[in-house]
Amino acid sequence: MTLRDPAFTATGRFWRGNLHTHSTRSDGVLSPEEVCRRYRAEGYDFLALTDHFIGDYGYPIVDTVPMRADGFTTILGAELHSGAMENGELWHILAVGLPADFAPSNSPSFLPVMGQETGPELAARAVAAGAFVAIAHPQWSGLTLADARSITAAHAVEIYNHGCYAGCDRPDGTAIADLLLTEGRRLTMIATDDAHFYEPDHFGGWVMVKSPENTPDALLGALKAGHFYSSQGPELRDVRIEGDHLVVECSAAVSVMALGKGTGAKSVHGHSMTYASVPLTRLNESPWVRAVVVDAGGKRAWSNPIWRP
């Protein structure tokens, strides 16, 4: 039996985009127009500008519709904040595809206040409004597993955040994501920039979304359906389970890894590999399997998990 990652069976083509970016409408240093211009000039197909949705910045959902052009589109969004995590700090929840009139939370600043929505409540409200919602930068936030469990409405976890890599060496979301997967949460994983442009925090992590067209609605639907993979550079061309092997076709790689629950992991290594068949015998009969591809420069690409019956 063959189980294929749906990103490689869906109709359409792959479009490159960044889902987490900031501008002068919150704490970034470039105008929304200049942020969009730079991503378009860098060859991106789409961008979600996600400024901080707090009162200090006027609860912005930036109108990026005028920045759309032939071959480049934008999706409205924001980074939402409300309630306290276990460490007492404010939640950071990425919401892409918000309506322009999404009602503000009671979040006047980056400090929690009494009586405001909890993070889980705000995430659920964003999903109900039509957004694709992700748990932002778990490692940077100091997110606990209990925190992550509480966000039951989320579609995804940030597996890699380039701004958190550049600014504080806390880019990772793999541990939280894998624990949630092991508990049965059918989450996907996104790589993002979280760009503010005051340090080298841009063009370092992105999603490749399989969609029939490069339009906000089509892209948003594909994100929710899991028709994408994430990358720092390598390309994934097919990811599938064939019997007791994970088969990956990709751009030139030195390592291809299969990951599952607990200690379940196996990798194969070589030179300029574009095809790898990784045995799954060490994955402890994990109900889910995901692929990681590493190129000669150490850049990674991540598939979403394939669920086994």
pLDDT tens string 192-249: 999 999 999 999 999 999 999 999 999 999 999 999 999 999 999 999 999 999 999 9
295 neighbors 250 (Cβ within 8 angstroms)? no
Per DSSP, the three-state class of 127 is helix
- Given a cut of 90, whether residue 191 has pLDDT beyond it is yes
Beta pairing, strands 46-49 & 73-80: parallel
Could you tell me the pLDDT band of residue 284, with boundaries at 50, 70 and 90?
Answer: confident
Rounded Cα–Cα distance for residues 104 and 117 (Å): 10
Query: Residue 190 and residue 157: Cα distance in Å, rounded?
Result: 6
Q: What is the pTM of this model?
A: 0.97
pLDDT tops 90 at residue 1: no
Rounded mean pLDDT of 106-124? 96
Model confidence at 95, in pLDDT bands (50, 70, 90)? very high
Q: Give me the domains of the chain, ranges plus CATH numbers.
A: 2-229 (3.20.20.140), 236-307 (2.60.40.10)
pLDDT of 146 higher than 90? yes
Q: Identify how many contiguous H helices and E strands the chain contains and give both numbers.
A: 7, 17
Residue-wise pLDDT tens digits, 25-82: 999 999 999 999 999 999 999 999 999 999 999 999 999 999 999 999 999 999 999 9
Q: Residue 170's pLDDT band (boundaries 50, 70, 90)?
A: very high
Question: 299 with 232: CB under 8 angstroms?
Answer: yes
C-alpha gyration radius of the chain: 19
Helices (H), 129-244: 138-141, 145-150, 162-168, 174-182, 216-225
